[in-house]
Amino acid sequence: MITCDMNNEPPSVCIRHTPGGTPDLMLEEILDASGFWTAMESVRRTQKISRDRFSIAIKPDLDVFNLALPSGTDRHLVQHLASLLRQRGYALITVIDARNTRDSWLLNREPLMVADFVGYDFSGDVYEVTGGDVSASAAQTWSDADFRINFAKNRTHESQVFALCVHNLLGVCPSNVTLSDLGSRCLGLLRESPPHFNLIDGFISFHGAAGERAPVAHKSCTLIASPDALLADVVGASKMGLDPYLSPINAKCLQALGMPSLQGIDGELTRYPMWQNVHPLVAESARKRNEVPGLGGASAAWFQTVDREHFPFREFYSDRLNSFIAPLMARMGDDPRAQWLIVLLNTLIASVGSGILAQHTLFAKGQLERQRKRIEIDLDRFGDGDYLNLPEHLALFEQHVRTGEYTSGRIQLRRLDDAALFFASHEYPIAYDEFVSRVNIGHAIQYMNDYIGGSLVTVARDDHGRTRMQAERNLYLQQPNWMVLFGGDIIDVEKIQLLDYGEDRQTIYWRTVASPNNSAENDDGRVSFIRAPNGCVRMEIFTRQKFSLPLFFQFIRIDLFPGIRDSIVETAYRNFFERTVANMQAQFDGREFRIGYERPTDLIDENSLGDIARYIATALATLSELLRTRSDIAGVGEWFAARSWTSDTRPAPVPDSDGFRHFGPTPAGTRYDSVAGQATDLARRLEEVLLDSPGVFAGLASAVQRDLEAFAEQNGGESR
């Protein structure tokens, strides 16, 4: 037992474990012990608002897919909390319906419908219910509230390993970023509108090898409370026997905000008995699956156990695939073969996504989605001196490359401490004043070759209102692009920048201070627009870059083969410079030059799959139906999943005089009946599969070929 005295100060986190206790009494006890009421009164008095006008927002976990096994925050606890607040005179209480997981592939998931199914009271007598799945109204309600309460559920998660307080904030985050940006979203919310108090409902927890995909109830009889969301999660993860950094969302927040102190804990940190966590292989493969554009979001529907009566599937093929895969998820905790099969499926989907991404990167850049990623660095870390010292810092490196010979045409290259130093210049036949009026020096990085997105924040302006200091996050495609074939990651860097404006020269200086995906150690440099003696403009670019190499190139030690390495680097920089020069010209002319496309809406629709993704899903659905209905190959599925796929009571279909086979009705979901007398000749069964399914795979191959030909025709000549 860890207890806290601290001169009657409330504990930093409070844990209550009461076997045989009642949830309502446990909630009342932990609210008193954790200093909840004192914290609320302190905020109210600071804001000088009366209790009847003091707005309170409660964000429960409403990621519920099965009403018979409600894996979200216990509605009775939320309602009891609202009643306690009402009894103390707080009148403006709002329960926010905002789910943390995208679920548009199901029906009856519209705003407020899940809350209604779960049983929340819509009379308005004690509290109001507002919001909707990842909606702007939910985020606004949360940020506008005078006091924000985060009421999470104690549960494991398929890809995030665990999902507690920080994860529960996803539903009230702005939804204008991709799945890979979940950590950035939560980090931004913790900085801008953090919860004032956090509760974890662990009276009935949900654990299991499949996480939220197939939750298993666990009577933990535990509640956790803390004003610090990260601290509550550290304690919650510890009681699961987990490293709090295993969750990518929590890891990003902990790395940015720091590990909270564990002093002042009131309660036990012992692990829950008989608790089962998600295997690291499952979590890693699920994350890679989720990152696949389009297909990754849609495939979540295939793995989730669902109450079909209340939440039917929108599309037939998702329903069929779900009935094939979801039972495997439910068996993962007991059947190692099911677990390995799920890892294999996740890896297969991720591999398909990687192939599509590589094809787009190399041949169809217009098919890539532009990225919108917010700056994660804490800008308060940097003072004016950090910005003003950039010219001097860069000059030390630029002099090394400027003293050398031109490597090829207009470019100079040299290596220093394993980083590439690059310098090049180009003169445009355009008047200097006209050029700088149309080409913003502050956006020079965004005009560079293969820029795919990011964000920019102004830090300070000069006396003329022009940006003087700014911070920028930049994302570029792999350099050179074919690195994507070797698993090269997109280049993602965060920079501080200084802008200088002169009569005959404008310059932007930058230095990389962070790389969220560790794709770069250095990416520093400058771009200058200079008035040439003839009145035209000369552009100069200097960079100092050191990017992370894919594992293959690390393994072969490409640095030991300088002839090959230098040839690759020189070609890459020459292409980069030539295309950047063309992009600057296009910006001056007012022509579109950026690669990729802008998603027309902030919300990501999992149902808007591309043709290739739909063909693949349809092929898999057809194959699953084949395994379900063909009794003579049932043994193949049984061997992989360690269970039956068909019933021995149904006669095998016999062709009629016209060659058609007639099937009787098949019950929804997967059959679990045993199969007697099945042949065990695996070779014969595989032969049957191949004989029955050529049309499926031929159609898939034809579809892929058509798409590739279309991509080649539309984008084959694209050089950006």
Nearest C-alpha neighbor of 299 from the set 611, 616, 601: 616
| pLDDT above 60 (res 665) | no
| Residue keyed to tokens 């969750």 | 247
Output the pLDDT for position 233.
96
Average pLDDT for 32-44: 94
Average pLDDT for 122-149: 81
Output the pLDDT for position 615.
66
> Taking the alpha carbons of 141, 145, 148, 149 in that order, is the dihedral positive or negative?
negative
Is residue 640 exposed (0-12), middle (13-18) or buried (19+ Cβ within 10 Å)?
middle
Of the two residues 665 and 187, the one the predictor is more confident about is 187
Output the pLDDT for position 134.
45
Average pLDDT for 471-479: 94
Nearest C-alpha neighbor of 512 from the set 523, 526, 520, 525: 523
Average pLDDT for 376-393: 93
Output the pLDDT for position 581.
95
% of the chain at pLDDT higher than 70:
80
| Residue keyed to tokens 């049983």 | 119
Nearest C-alpha neighbor of 469 from the set 510, 500, 501, 498: 498
Say if residue 550 is preceded by a cis peptide, omega within 30 of 0.
no
Output the pLDDT for position 718.
46
Output the pLDDT for position 564.
85
- Name the least confident of 360-364, 436-440, 537-541: 360-364
Output the pLDDT for position 184.
85
User: pLDDT per residue over 354-371, tens digit each?
Assistant: 888 899 999 999 989 888
Output the pLDDT for position 657.
61
Output the pLDDT for position 689.
47
Output the pLDDT for position 79.
95
Output the pLDDT for position 315.
81
Output the pLDDT for position 708.
57
Q: How far is CA 32 from CA 5, 35, 406, 516, in A?
A: 15, 6, 73, 40
- What the block records as the tokens of 221 is 């009889």
Q: How far is CA 466 from the centre of its chain?
A: 35
Average pLDDT for 362-383: 89
Output the pLDDT for position 606.
43
Count of CA atoms in the C-beta half-sphere (13 A) of 165 = 32
| pLDDT above 70 (res 547) | yes
| pLDDT above 90 (res 147) | yes
- Cβ distance 272 to 240 under 8 Å? yes
Q: What is the C-alpha to C-alpha distance for residues 68 and 480, in angstroms, rounded to an integer?
A: 52
CB atoms within 10 A of CB 168: 30
Nearest C-alpha neighbor of 230 from the set 201, 260, 255, 202: 260
Of the two residues 672 and 97, the one the predictor is more confident about is 97
| pLDDT above 50 (res 180) | yes
Q: How far is CA 464 from CA 460, 478, 704, in A?
A: 11, 38, 55
Of the two residues 124 and 52, the one the predictor is more confident about is 52
User: pLDDT per residue over 99-108, tens digit each?
Assistant: 788 788 889 8
| pLDDT above 50 (res 645) | no
Instruction: List CB contacts of 606: < 8 A, sequence separation 6 or more.
Output: 102, 104, 105, 294, 297, 298, 300, 301
Output the pLDDT for position 624.
62
What band does 264 get if pLDDT is binned at 50, 70 and 90?
confident
Output the pLDDT for position 660.
60
Average pLDDT for 583-602: 85
Of the two residues 672 and 702, the one the predictor is more confident about is 702
Nearest C-alpha neighbor of 252 from the set 157, 307, 319, 185: 185
| pLDDT above 50 (res 394) | yes
Output the pLDDT for position 673.
40
Q: What is the C-alpha to C-alpha distance for residues 16 and 235, in angstroms, rounded to an integer?
A: 12
What band does 111 get if pLDDT is binned at 50, 70 and 90?
confident
Same fold, 13-278 and 379-439+456-474+482-557: no
The domains of the chain are located at: 13-278, 379-439+456-474+482-557, 668-720
- Cβ distance 16 to 223 under 8 Å? yes
Output the pLDDT for position 426.
94
What band does 301 get if pLDDT is binned at 50, 70 and 90?
confident
Output the pLDDT for position 700.
53
Average pLDDT for 449-470: 94
Residue 462, helix vs strand vs coil: coil
Q: What is the C-alpha to C-alpha distance for residues 138 and 168, in angstroms, rounded to an integer?
A: 13
Indicate the DSSP class of residue 354: H
**Could you give the angle at which helices 611-629 and 295-303 cross, rounded to 10 degrees?**
20
- The per-residue pLDDT of the chain, averaged, comes to 83
Ordered DSSP codes for 662-682: ------SS-------S----H
| pLDDT above 70 (res 702) | no
| pLDDT above 60 (res 674) | no
% of the chain at pLDDT higher than 90:
54
- What the block records as the tokens of 85 is 């607040």
What band does 57 get if pLDDT is binned at 50, 70 and 90?
very high
pTM across the whole model: 0.79
At the topology level, CATH places domain 379-439+456-474+482-557 in Alpha-D-Glucose-1,6-Bisphosphate; Chain A, domain 4 (3.30.530)
Q: What is the C-alpha to C-alpha distance for residues 219 and 204, in angstroms, rounded to an integer?
A: 5
b/e sequence 224-241, b meaning 16+ C-beta within 10 Å = bbbbbbbbbbbbbbbbbe
Q: What is the C-alpha to C-alpha distance for residues 455 and 604, in angstroms, rounded to an integer?
A: 19
User: pLDDT per residue over 216-229, tens digit each?
Assistant: 999 999 999 999 99
Please state which of the four CATH numbers 3.40.50, 2.30.30, 1.10.10, 3.30.730 is assigned to the domain occupying 13-278. Answer: 3.40.50
- Name the least confident of 118-132, 173-187, 299-313, 651-665: 651-665
Of the two residues 251 and 683, the one the predictor is more confident about is 251
Of the two residues 406 and 530, the one the predictor is more confident about is 530
Nearest C-alpha neighbor of 629 from the set 658, 660, 665: 665
Average pLDDT for 612-625: 62
Ordered DSSP codes for 241-302: T--GGGSHHHHHHHHHH-PPP-TTEEB--PPPTT--PPPHHHHHHHHHHHTSTTHHHHHHHH
Nearest C-alpha neighbor of 211 from the set 294, 314, 267, 290: 290
Output the pLDDT for position 707.
58
Residue 622, helix vs strand vs coil: helix
Instruction: List CB contacts of 336: < 8 A, sequence separation 6 or more.
Output: none
